[in-house]
Structures are given as C-alpha cells and as structure tokens.
Amino acid sequence: METNGLEKKNYGMENDTDLQFLLKGGDLLKVRSPSWKKTRYFRLMDDCKTMWRESKKIFKTNQTFVINDISAVRMGRQSDGLRKYTEEQVENRCFSIMFKGHRKNLDLIASSEDEARQWVNSLQKIVSNMNNLSSQKNTEHWLFSCLRKSDENKDDKLSLSEIKDFLRRINVEVDDDFAELLFEKCDKSNSGYLAGEEIQHFYNLLTHREELDVIYGEYAKTTGFMSPQNLVDFLIKEQIEKATLADAHNIIHKYEPDENAKEKKLLSKDGFLMYMHQPEALVLNPDHREVYQDMSQPLNQYFISSSHNTYLMEDQLQGPSSTEAYVRALLKSCRCVELDCWDGSDEEPEIYHGYTLTSKILFKDAIKAIKEYAFKTSDYPVILSLENHCSVKQQEVMAHHMSSILGSALVTSPLGDGMPTDFPSPEALKGMFLVKGKRLNKLEASFAAEANEDVDADMTEEEESGDEDEEQEKNKKKKKLKLAKDLSDMVVYCKSVHFNGFEEARQNLSFYEMSSFKEQKAMGLAEESANSYIHHNMDKLSRVYPAGSRTNSSNYNPVPLWNAGCQMVALNFQTTCTDMDVNQGRFLVNGKSGYILKPAYMRDVATEFDPITLTRGDWLKHKTLHVMIVSAQQLPKVKKKISSIVDALVKVEVYGVPDDVAEKKTDAVENNGFNPQWNENFQFDVYVPELALVRFTVEDHDSTSSNEFIGQYTLPFNSLKMGYRHVPLHNKNGDVLPSAGLFVHIMVVDAE
C-alpha cells in the first residue's frame, strides 16, 4: 500500500523542497516555562499529513499531531508563552504553531533565523495546500490513513481481520458475512489477503454512492455518459439553476478526470461525483461566499459579529486570559472585541476579568495581537470595546499604546469635514479601528470654539447597566470614573451612555451615543417593544452582552435580538455551543466580513415590522421549505473506542421570528457512520425568510442518555441552493470535518 507518492501528488508537491525539508525534519527547542526548554526532533511522516516528534519520557510513546489541526504558524515571539519565557534576542529564531480548538500552542526555537523561517514557510505551505484539497481528495486521504492503521504487520497487504478492523475505523458495523463477501469479491488472486489493485477495488466498492448513481443514470443519456446538454438538463431541472451549454462545457473541462471522456466533451460518473463535491455545487449559494451586499450604508444598518470578554480562553472565574483568544475571535471574523482594562504593575495596564482569578495579559500585547490579526479574515472595521477600570495615569498609557501601535488606522476624529450627522459606512472604514467607551463631552463640543468638559464620566458601562452583584455595588457606592482626556478624545462614533428608555434616547441622545444592554433587559425589550427597539436601532447602535451570572461563559440565543435590530449581539466566542454555531451561521455569508446588512424593513423609518405580532408588510414572504435528508458520508466517531459505531440521526431546525421556529428529526440508522441513508422528507413554513437560518445537526443516537453531537452546519435561509446538495459539517469548535458530509435535496416554493 505505497501511498506516499499519491499523497504528494494530491498536494501538488511531488518535488517540492519545502516538503522534502519537512520529511527530513530536525531538532527544535520546545518552550514550556522559563526553566522547561527541551530539544525535540520533529518531522513530517510519510503520509504527509501527520507531524511526528520524539518523546524522551520512558513510558510515553512518540507523539504526533495532524497538519489539519493547525490553525496558524506564526513567526517571532508572538505567543504569550514565548513573550513570557524567552529573551528578546531570540525573537528571530522563535515561532509558534497554533491549533484549532482548545489545544495549547507549540512554542519553538530554531537554531538560526533561516531555519525558523524555513520551518514556518514549509508548514504554512502544507497547511494551505491541505485546506485547498477537494472533499473528494480529503476522503481519499482519510480512507488511506485508516487503511494504513489497519495494516497491523505493515506488509502492505490486508487480511480479512485487518479489513474488519478497517471497517470499524471508518465507522461501519458490517456483519461478518458482508465483510467476507466484499473481501472475496476483491481477492481475485485467492491468496487470503488483498494487495495493490485489490485494495483499490475494495476502496471503489466502499465509496460507491448508490444515491448519486441513480441521479447520474437519470441524466446520462449519451452512451452511458452525460453530454453537455444532459448536464444542462440536470442543472436546470434538478438544481434549479440558470445553466447554459457554456457552463456545462466548463464543468466538464474542470472536473472530468478521464482525459478520453473530456476530449469527447462527456462527463463520467466520477466527473459527476467530483463536481457534486465542489463549492459551487454545495448547499451554500456560492455568490454569498463573497461580499455581495451593499457595504456603503451607515454602520448601524448592519448586524456586526461581536464578542464578549474576548480575552478569555475558558470560563470567567479562573480561566486563562490570552492574546490568543483575540486572534481566534478575529480569525472567525469577529468585528467587535472587548478589553477589560485594570491598573497593572510598572504603570502598564492589564486585561483580565475583575474580581476573579482569571490570569492577566498586558493591554499593549492585546493591542499588538489585534493589529496583526484584525484584517486577516475581513477588511471591514474592528470596534475596540473598552471596559475601563484604570486610573487616569494608566488611561494615558492606554491612549499612548493605541495611538503608537495602531497609528493612522485608529479613527480619532470624524471622517470628512465638520460635525457628522450619521455613521460612516463599513466601506468607508475599511482597515480601521473604532474605540467604543466613555467620553467626557459631546462630540459637538470638539467643534465649538471653547469646549467645556466634565472631568469625570459615569462608571463603566457594565457597572452602570447593573451587572455587578449587590456586594460589589455597595463597595463601589456608584463611584465616578475619572477620565483621561487623551483616551476620551479617541471615542468618536461609539460613545457609551446609560439607557433611560426609548423616548429619552430619541429626544436627548446623539446618533453616536450608544447603550449596552444586559441580555435579560434586551430580551425583555425585544419581546415587549420590538418595534420601538427596531426604530431605536435605526439611528443608534446597541450592544447586548451575556449576564454576569454566566460564570461558565455560556451563551444566549442571539436570534431574538437580531430580530429587534440590535447590531452588536456579543457572545462568548471561546465557548462551543449551539448559540455560537448560529452566530457563525449568520456571519458565514457576505465574504465572512463580519457585517450583514439588515433587511430593508429594519432600515425604513416608517416600518411597522414587529417580529412577535407579524402584521402585514414587506417582510411577509411566506415560503414552504421542503428538505429531504438523503444520506451522510464518513461521520467521525464520537467515542474513541474502535468498537464503537455511530447510530446517526439528522435534526433540521429553523431559527428566526417566533412563527418560523421549528425542528424535525429523522430516525436513527443503526451501526453505520460511513454511509447511512434516510430518504426522509420534512416540510417547514417560513414567513420571514430574510431573518431565518437553517441548521442541520448530525447526532449519535443514545437510548439511555442524551444524543451526542457529531457535526452541524448553519446558514441563512436565503443562502440555500435548491436541488441535490452536499452539506459540509463543522465540529463543535466550528472547524470543517474534512471528509464528513450530508447529502440532501432542497426545494423552496412560494406558499399557497
């Protein structure tokens, strides 16, 4: 089973010097603390997808990690660990490997700057090549690595017992008769084991997709192949797409693997399978993967992806604070991050969760990390939400750090000339930072000849919205917060003020004066006075954040607050949960820019829209959604035990206005995570499509306890493509499961 050549070919890296460097490997100094720095040998294994490192512990096996688990490779002393435990002079020899999920960084030092750069470049290249692999190729990698693990005696042959082991690894419970039948079918040489082409044949039988064969057969009318016209018929009739012969020729040219068929302008079954796994054939409308909305409206007309307590990696009582948490949130296209600032030693402000045991990071390190990662996923503006508890002296240090680190990207005065009357647009603010916080006076005052200024402001916004417990309230006795002028002047478009009701806000507040709402208060307003809330959010910004009682950093459902027009519905990005999945689903589209334009009826000053009562109006576009759950492929095991097999079921949910909220689920298919089939149909009524989201969840059915989560995918209702579609699946951290997926049929029609 010599697959090394195949692996390299799949990556398009056969004779690549970077790949050769990684396969050879070398010694690196691993850093864990000031005293723990040890040399370890690292190299890429022959499968080209696993990094191996030796362990010096007597009973510890050599450790590996998968390239797929790397989220970023960063040159220099950029991690909290390297900054803390190494000296500045090794800056150019350091690099860090960051992982997806909650796994700790790997902090390393190479013997020279050139070597460090070689490691970083080579790793970045292979990570990027892996991410660009088609799902078809990913499936091959996954199956081959399972085959390799099952070949216990490493003789490149598979015995019947090794084949059974392989089937369990890929999550199929096959009865012995069927396993033997498959085995005999492939063992053409009657040798009692499979080798070479016999393994390939076995793989082909396994990956056979009966449901796709049936669809292909319906349209392959030209000597068993699909002609360009057959393909156009399929695209128009089944996929409800506007397709031309030119589109069909293009698909055949791009995806047909058989050169013979390609020359005759025909699409084979393999080519059809390849095409059906491409991004343009998936359930998400490919046009929505890019920025497709108007980005020139005022900032407050958008939903803005927002994070709460962004510095925390875990819970709010004793979890670690880390600059890495900012990096992760920003890479997930979060556009509003929170900085909880307190006086630190050596006159350097620190960030941590006050009155708790969470660890601390330096304010300046957080700003540096934010600057570097702010615009990697999205070019649109980032809002720095300051929760300021610092003395005037350290506030001046904060202002100095922001100004010197962010430079001209920091907005410190209104765009354009004179006093603005409205927000600038995300387009006008590309690549810029806005500061949200307290301000000593009105913005208008900075345009007056003699600006009269208060010397202090109210408390921080979370104190004033009553988020502290009574004990802390008594201690503080509503203390006034002295504000440094330099910091105050940096607050231009997002001045934090107390909310005293919609009427008072309409009469007395300027457009740039915004309030923060604790979730209970916001949910109450969204239920009882949704229309007033929508109008309030038409000319002002609102930020909502989780209650202080959520010490485990749990989240709330953001949907009712979006339905009320709230722009910054802040969630704990560090927590994996359904609410966070729904948030990522909302911001999955529009180029993952972190900004989604609100529907027109939430921007119209005369609107009567109320998501609770749903009177007649433009928002009512009653649709019927038909979903058929056909099958799933290569579902990962929930339990690591090799003998455990998934009993898969699929749940389909609609989120949106209360009338649209619904959930349906399939029966469980027992003992098959490899290719379970359901062919079950569901129907949903959707009244306000622009605010609706659809979520597919795959679970492992358990009759004795609650079902276990396998994977999910959430997307906006209006971004669904119709017809036969593959649905990618994300794990609980929001990362794509490389070869798993759902196969569904979607139809949306106007309701009678």
Q: Which residues are catalytic?
A: 308, 353
CB atoms within 10 A of CB 62: 12
> Residue 389 is which amino acid?
H
The answer to whether residues 41 and 27 touch, using CB atoms and an 8 Å cutoff, is yes
Cα(393)–Cα(561) distance, integer angstroms: 38
Cα(638)–Cα(641) distance, integer angstroms: 9
Cβ burial of 80 (10 Å; 0-12, 13-18, 19+) is: buried
CA 238 to chain centre: 30
Token pair listed for 479: 């203390």
- Give CA separation, 543 vs 351, 429, 451, 513, 537, in Å: 20, 19, 29, 12, 10
Cα(737)–Cα(726) distance, integer angstroms: 13
For residue 395, give the nearest of 270, 305, 502, 483 by alpha carbon: 483
For 734, left (φ over 0), alpha (ψ -120 to 50), or beta? left
In terms of DSSP H, where are the helices of 335-493? Answer: 363-373, 392-406, 461-464, 470-476, 485-488
- Give CA separation, 442 vs 27, 45, 268, 413, 424, in Å: 59, 62, 68, 13, 18
Q: Nearest-5° angle of CA 597, CA 494, CA 326?
A: 75
The answer to whether residues 313 and 320 touch, using CB atoms and an 8 Å cutoff, is yes
Instruction: Return phi, psi of residue 96, to 5°.
Output: -125, 140
**DSSP per-residue string spanning 187-219:** -TT-SSEEETHHHHHHHHHHT--HHHHHHHHHH
> In which residue are the tokens 């795959």 written?
698
Token pair listed for 26: 């070398």
Say what angle helices 519-528 and 530-539 make with each other, to 10 degrees: 110
The answer to whether residues 739 and 139 touch, using CB atoms and an 8 Å cutoff, is yes
Cα(172)–Cα(149) distance, integer angstroms: 16
**DSSP per-residue string spanning 255-295:** H---HHHHHTT-B-HHHHHHHHTSGGGBSB-GGGGS--S--
The answer to whether residues 456 and 483 touch, using CB atoms and an 8 Å cutoff, is yes
> Residue 497 is which amino acid?
V
Rounded to a whole number, what is the largest CA-CA distance in the chain?
97
Give the single-character DSSP code of 59.
T
End-to-end CA distance of the chain: 58
User: Which sign, positive or negative, has the C-alpha torsion 460, 465, 467, 471?
Assistant: positive
